[in-house]
Amino acid sequence: MKLAYHYNKASIIIAVSVLLIGGLIYYFSIRYIANDQLDRDLTEEIDEVKVYINLHNQLPKQVDFDEDQTTFTKIETKNLPRRFFDTLYYNDKEKIVESGRAVEGSIEFNNSTYKVVISESKEATEYLVQLILLITILLAAILLAVLLITNRLILNGLWNPFYKILHQLKTFDISDRSQLAIKQTKVDEFNELNTALLNMTSKAKSDFQNVKSFTENASHEMMTPLAVVTSKLDTLIQDEDLNAGQLTQITNIYSYINKLSRLNQSLLLLVKIDNNLIKEVDQINLKDTINDKIRQFQELIQGKVLLLTSHLGNKHINASKYLIDILLNNLFSNAVRHNYMGGEIKIILTNKQLIIKNTGEKSALADTQIFERFQRSTHSEGTGMGLTLAKNICTYYQYTISYEYLDDWHVFTIGF
């Protein structure tokens, strides 16, 4: 989820929590203030009753007076503590029962003690509290709506420089010599990020160009003496005065020189693949390409008396013919070289995958290492780079490649 979502979520949770807690505190505070005001009014009513008794030397009539209800009850207790409490109030005009507030106390009259209870309606106060609560809820809802809209508008504008930086990182090409188009913003943190990004990409491009130049120059410089050595070995091999031992030694040297040359070419190709230096894209009919590859390997297949069967469907891909040719070369070569005399090879091509399976050693290969560089079996005469190249080519085109040992078959599967 995006950062704006997490920010909005956190801010809304905090705002709702604060509003809820604040609303509860506000509600109970208003209720307390309203009840306190009623209690003050009721206290004044008791004082008025006492004044009335002193002036008229009689108890007031037990009727509604100023919408208050007063009752007198003779008691034996001399000192009755004054207390305030909620009660029910009967509205004679409306003929309904409402919530009310009452005070209970004692007065002295004619050497007797009377309990006086004065109650009045809380309806007006309750209505006022509910109105205030409703207004508070409405204001909270409006505040949340404004907060959401404001966050959405402000954050979208605030994070635009970040998304531009992210887009440039996604489209960053280390082989492109042009600098990133960095724009200054009003936010210091984004400016620092832009500066750090510019320095990092410049350093990466500089290092890449240095490594690229070194690799290309080293490869070129290695190929020249290798070609000279190979040429001189060709001349020596043709010398009729060589004895059998010398011929064997020269042949071995010739073999190692060829191996070193292939290794050099493989390493150079890996560098090009890893750094996205192979740009050409062709439309390839994979079925026809595999059939051509079968014909190219026909002599080696017949030399080991291998039985090759193929089931090829139509499959077209967009890729470099050069890289696909290397991929198929390595997989075919692997299936032939690691097979035994009279073994089998099966090739299956569908719209979703290419399967090349062969017989060979009666044990599985180390599937976690076979695609690593310079990993090869003890009996292999290769450079240990073939499956690494195959893996890198598949990764380059976002294909998958896997290996499994199933029913005495070594199976390599490429998923498109």
pLDDT above 50 (res 373): no
Distance CA(116)–CA(62), nearest Å, equals 10
Q: How much of the chain exceeds pLDDT 90, in percent?
A: 0
Q: What is the per-residue pLDDT for 270?
A: 65
Q: Are 79 and 102 in contact (CB under 8 A)?
A: no
- Which residue would you say has higher pLDDT here, 274 or 352? 352
If one compares 343 and 381, the residue with the highest pLDDT of the two is 343
Label the pairing between strands 112-121 and 316-319. unpaired
Residue 287 has pLDDT above 60, yes or no: yes
Residues 6+ apart with CB under 8 A from 94: none
Could you report the per-residue pLDDT of 228-280, keeping only the tens digit for each?
777 777 777 777 776 777 777 777 776 767 666 666 666 666 666 666 666 77
pLDDT surpasses 50 at 73: yes
Is it true that domain 190-274 has CATH number 3.40.50?
Answer: no
Number of H helices, E strands in the chain: 9, 11
What's the pLDDT at 175?
66
Confidence of residue 125 (pLDDT cuts 50, 70, 90): confident
* H/E element, 401: strand 400-406
**pLDDT band with cut points at 50, 70 and 90 for residue 110:** confident
Give the start-to-end residue ranges of the domains of the chain: 3-154, 190-274, 282-415
Please report the pLDDT score of residue 383 as a whole number: 45
Strand boundaries in 65-215, DSSP class E: 69-75, 83-91, 96-109, 112-121
CA distance 167 to 161: 10
The two beta strands, 307-312 and 344-349, are: parallel
Q: Is the pLDDT of residue 81 over 60?
A: yes
Residue 272: predicted pLDDT = 66
pLDDT of residue 375: 47
| Average pLDDT in the chain | 78
The pLDDT score that the predictor gives to residue 276 is 64
CATH code: domain 282-415 is: 3.30.565.10
Q: Please check the confidence at residue 342 and state whether its pLDDT lies above 70.
A: yes
pLDDT in tens, 48-66: 888 888 787 777 765 444 5
Residues 6 or more apart whose Cβ sits within 8 Å of residue 47: none
